[in-house]
Structure 1
Amino acid sequence: MLQVRKLMSLMAVLIIGISGITQKATAFEISVQPSALNPDINDVFQIEIMALNLGNGAAPSIGAFDIDFDFDSAILQFNSLTFGNGLDLGFGSLQNDSLAGGTVSVDETSFESEADLNSFQPEDFMLFSIEFTALSAGISDLTVAVQSISDASGLTLLTPTAIQNGRVNVNSGGGQIPEPTMLYLWGLGLLMLASTRSYFQRM
């Protein structure tokens, strides 16, 4: 009976130890950083998703991530996505992204060694950036939903201590020139053409 209790105690210690290994909250953050906070209609701009405050030449570093990025598709039009190079230090990585309505699903898995990621991955770096076109006036929230982030070993799930989401407010300015202004410019052009013809006829 005593041996059974010892065995159960040992198993409990192992379970606690494993749970500490498989999931850990670290001090790094995820930040959404738009290149323009108040774009006009038809403006093209970028939004960078950053990983901040990781290890500086040491663990923790990111070996893989799976993130959903949400935006208002009635206000913003998705154009393209570019991955950063924090997980690709030379040996490459497996990269995937897909668009469904107002959600971009993005995942990347590094082919780098654990030692190289811990030693050479920057403390702050861009996970990916998205190019958008402003479609219509209004406010679009820009939110990150972390599905999973693992460390360089691939065995530990990292939990950011903070996620700094963003927002853009698309102005109604810009876009197409109003019709009255177009008519004015067209009339001015005809007047200048008529004046030019009259000048050359007099000569």
Structure 2
Amino acid sequence: MRKTTLAFLITTLLALASPAQAITLSLEPASSTVNPGNSVALDLTVSGLGDHTAPSLGAFDVDIGYDPAKLNFTGYALGTLLGDVSLGEAFDTSTGDSTPPGLIDLAELSLLEPDSINCFFCTGPYLDDIQPSSFVLATLDFIVTGGLAPGQSTQVDIAVQALGDGFGNSLTADTLNPSVLRRPAAPPPPSGVPEPATLMLLGIGMAWLRRFSHA
């Protein structure tokens, strides 16, 4: 309940703030070749921020959509560049996978101040100092199921609920890059090996040749 309330507050506050800068969210790798039973780790990355300068990312709320008939979601891990959750530098307000599965909510709120100039507590570390222009927000883990048939592909998508900088201003994600997982098509039978019917005809032909050779 506490996580749900915090996630709602993040979304509401960021929606009211004015847009500040367009950024890109991606799932990486963008494409992979997989087979049933394979473990797949996808990084949710952000790019287009300032490189150790404003704007930095102070909060995000993102939904990850996938096909539960083809993938099993096994867990996620947040990055540390909004602050270390275990040290109380950020709140993990994610609600995880939906019921029924297929939509994963990832949300985090940083408690770090954006910079040393506009700070209140001024204890650091500061978001502008620790964040490059591109970094990993979270890593999601899946297992490929037999529901992904040979020659088929499945896509993992991103939907943004809210993004905000270190001051609470809204950030706009102008590009969302999904990840596509493909299972190779079943290989065709080897062309150089005769099929059973061909072998039978060859056998009959050889028998007739032997018969006439003894006649």
TM-score norm. by structure 2 comes to 0.65
Task: Give the 3-state SS of the residue equivalent to 1:82 in structure 2.
Answer: strand
Residue in structure 1 matching 2:90, options 84, 90, 93: 93
Task: Give the 3-state SS of the residue equivalent to 1:87 in structure 2.
Answer: coil
Residue in structure 2 matching 1:73, options 68, 71, 78: 68
Query: How far 1:128 sits from its partner (Å)?
Result: 0.5
The reply on whether 1:140 has 2:154 as its aligned counterpart is yes
Query: How far 1:35 sits from its partner (Å)?
Result: 7.9
- 1:171-190 equivalences in 2 (<5 Å): 171=184
Match for residue 124 of structure 1?
134
The percentage of counterpart residues that share the same residue type is: 24
Match for residue 161 of structure 1?
174
User: Does the C-alpha gap of structure 1 residues 35 and 46 become closer, same or farther in structure 2, counting only changes over 3 Å?
Assistant: farther
Which amino acid in the other structure matches residue 97 of structure 2? L
Query: How far 1:171 sits from its partner (Å)?
Result: 4.0
Task: Give the 3-state SS of the residue equivalent to 1:148 in structure 2.
Answer: strand
CA distance in structure 2 between the aligned counterparts of 1:31 and 1:42, rounded to whole angstroms: 24
Query: How far 1:111 sits from its partner (Å)?
Result: 1.2
Task: Give the 3-state SS of the residue equivalent to 1:146 in structure 2.
Answer: strand
Whether contact under 8 Å (2:25, 2:177) holds in the other structure is yes
Task: Give the 3-state SS of the residue equivalent to 1:32 in structure 2.
Answer: strand
User: Does the C-alpha gap of structure 1 residues 125 and 163 become closer, same or farther in structure 2, counting only changes over 3 Å?
Assistant: same
Runs of 4+ in 1 over 6 A off after TM superposition: none
CA distance in structure 1 between the aligned counterparts of 2:59 and 2:178, rounded to whole angstroms: 20
TM-score norm. by structure 1 comes to 0.69
CA distance in structure 1 between the aligned counterparts of 2:183 and 2:77, rounded to whole angstroms: 23
Task: Give the 3-state SS of the residue equivalent to 2:69 in structure 1.
Answer: coil
| 1:20-42 per-position Cα deviation (integer Å, ceiling 9, x unaligned) | x9222524211111386111110
Whether contact under 8 Å (1:93, 1:108) holds in the other structure is yes
Which amino acid in the other structure matches residue 129 of structure 1? T
Structure with higher helix content? 1
- 1:23-102 equivalences in 2 (<5 Å): 23-34=18-29, 37-88=32-83, 92-95=89-92, 96-100=94-98, 101-102=101-102
CA distance in structure 2 between the aligned counterparts of 1:152 and 1:91, rounded to whole angstroms: 16
Query: How far 1:120 sits from its partner (Å)?
Result: 2.0
User: Does the C-alpha gap of structure 1 residues 126 and 157 become closer, same or farther in structure 2, counting only changes over 3 Å?
Assistant: same
Aligned residues: 152
CA distance in structure 2 between the aligned counterparts of 1:80 and 1:118, rounded to whole angstroms: 29
Whether contact under 8 Å (1:67, 1:107) holds in the other structure is yes
Match for residue 151 of structure 1?
165
RMSD: 2.0
Structure with higher strand content? 1
